Amino acid sequence: MIIIDYKDTRPIYEQVAEKFKALILKGAMQADEQMPSVRSLAMELSINPNTIQKAYTELEREGFIYTVKGRGNFIAGTEKLLEEKKKCCLDEILILIKEIMEYGVTGEEILSAVQQAVCAGAK
């Protein structure tokens, strides 16, 4: 489920949080599904429980999970978060399109590349 990259310069708690965000946004973890306990995940990953708790705190702050006292952490409804992520990705694409047009790439070339990417993704 979660694999830590010790060569990554980011702190471990950020890596854990990012992996969970990706799993949640891609639908691998559903709304109201219980998260692994802090202790069990810490043991599984062989890292300090405080690191997992910090990742969970970050996920809760960003709205990905919620806590039920005495029961644990659960996945929050992600429709809004998914829409925000889609908008962010589309904004990044627009910035990239503006940049490549400055280098002389035509609209037709961009549309062709997008169409190829969409067709390749549909397979």
Q: pLDDT tens, 18-57?
A: 999 999 888 889 889 999 999 999 999 999 999 999 999 9
| Nearest CA among 59, 74, 78 for reference residue 20 | 59
What integer pLDDT is reported at residue 123 of this predicted model?
A: 61
Q: pTM of the entire structure?
A: 0.71
- Partnered with residue 68 across adjacent β-strands are 72
Q: Which two tokens stand for residue 15?
A: 């890596």
Q: pLDDT tens, 58-79?
A: 999 999 999 999 999 999 987 7
| C-alpha angle 13-15-21 in degrees, rounded to nearest 5 | 105
Phi/psi for 10 (5° steps) reads -75, 150
Q: Which two tokens stand for residue 14?
A: 């950020």
With contact defined as beta carbons under 8 Å apart, do 52 and 16 qualify? Answer: yes
